[in-house]
Amino acid sequence: MDKVALITGSTSGIGLGIAKRLAQAGHSVILNGLATPTLNETISEVKTLGKGEVLFSDADMSQPDQIEAMMRMIEKQFGRLDVIVNNAGIQHVAPIDEFPIAAWDKIIAINLSSAFHISRLAIPMMKKNGWGRIINIASAHALIASPFKSAYVAAKHGVAGLTKTIALEVAQHNITCNAICPGYVLTPLVEGQIAATAKARGISEEQVINDVMLGEQPTKEFVKIEEVAELVYYLCADAAASITGTCLPIDGGWTAH
C-alpha cells in the first residue's frame, strides 16, 4: 500500500531530497517549511516524481498550535499518516556566554520540541493502522559536541533520547523510531554556518570548511543529500522492521574517532 509521509523542513536541503525520494517510491508527501519564491515549482517537481498526492503546509515548527492544525489537516485529507520525518532545524553559532536567549528557545522548539509534538500526534494514527515509521534527522552532534553550538548540540542530544524512548514505547505496534545522524551536508543551513563559525573562531571561511567542518570527517567530503534520502527510504521498508531505537551515523567516519 502506498504510504502518506510528512517531512518537516522540506522546501529545501535534506528535507526536500527526502521528499523527492519518498515521492519516487509512490508515497503521498506533505511538504512543510518556508514558502519560498520557488515553492510552486518545487511542489510541481515533486508531483512529477510519483503517483501520490503532494500537499504543502507552512506550519511554524516552533508553534505547537500550528503543528496541531497541520496534523488535523493531514488526518482529514488522508485519514492516516504512515511516515514522519522530523527534519526541520535551525542553527545559531556563538559562545555560550554570548548566546541569545531567544535563539536558544527557538532552536530547542524547532529542532527538538517539534519532533515531540508531531510524534505524539502521529502515533495514534499509526497505532490505528498497525504500521508506522518515525525518522528523526538528528546530526553527528547528537553523538558528540562542538564548541559554540550549545543549543543545537543540546537539541540534537535530546532528539537521540526522544528517539530511543519512543522506540521502546511503540515497539509492539509495528512502529519503528530511528534517528539519522549526518555529518556536514552542504545545505543552506550549513552554508549559513560558515561565516558565523569563522567569526566565532576568528578564522577564515576556507579554514572553517577544511579544518572545522571536514577536519573531523575522514573522507574529507561533505555527505550528500541523496545518501541521507536513501537511508530514510530504507528505514521505511519492511526489511528495516527490526531496526528501531537506533542513532545511525552517516558522517564519513566522523564519530568513529
Whether 175 is covered by a domain: the verdict is: yes
* C-beta atoms surrounding 37 within 10 Å: 6
Q: Which of 181, 134, 177 is nearest to 156 (CA)?
A: 181
Whether 204 is covered by a domain: the verdict is: no
Residue 194 contacts by C-beta under 8 Å, 6 or more apart in sequence? 205, 208, 209, 213
Please check the confidence at residue 1 and state whether its pLDDT lies above 60.
no
Whether 203 is covered by a domain: the verdict is: no
Number of domains in the chain: 1
Q: What pLDDT, on a 0 to 100 scale, did the predictor assign at position 189? A: 74
Please check the confidence at residue 196 and state whether its pLDDT lies above 80.
yes
Domain range for 66 is: 4-183+224-256
Is 233 an active-site residue? no
Q: Which of 66, 4, 2 is nearest to 33 (CA)?
A: 66
Which of 152, 184, 233, 234 is an active site residue?
A: 152
Please check the confidence at residue 100 and state whether its pLDDT lies above 60.
yes
- Over residues 124-140, the mean pLDDT reads 98
Whether 39 is covered by a domain: the verdict is: yes
* C-beta atoms surrounding 157 within 10 Å: 19
Q: Which of 7, 1, 3 is nearest to 228 (CA)?
A: 7
Whether 26 is covered by a domain: the verdict is: yes
Whether 190 is covered by a domain: the verdict is: no
Q: Report DSSP state, residue 138.
A: -
Q: What pLDDT, on a 0 to 100 scale, did the predictor assign at position 191? A: 84
Q: Report DSSP state, residue 224.
A: P
Please check the confidence at residue 8 and state whether its pLDDT lies above 90.
yes
Residue 208's pLDDT band (cuts 50, 70, 90): very high
Whether 214 is covered by a domain: the verdict is: no
pLDDT tens digits along 52-86: 999 999 999 999 999 999 999 999 999 999 999 99
pLDDT tens digits along 148-184: 999 999 999 999 999 999 999 999 999 999 999 999 9
Whether 45 is covered by a domain: the verdict is: yes
CATH number (domain holding residue 139): 3.40.50.720
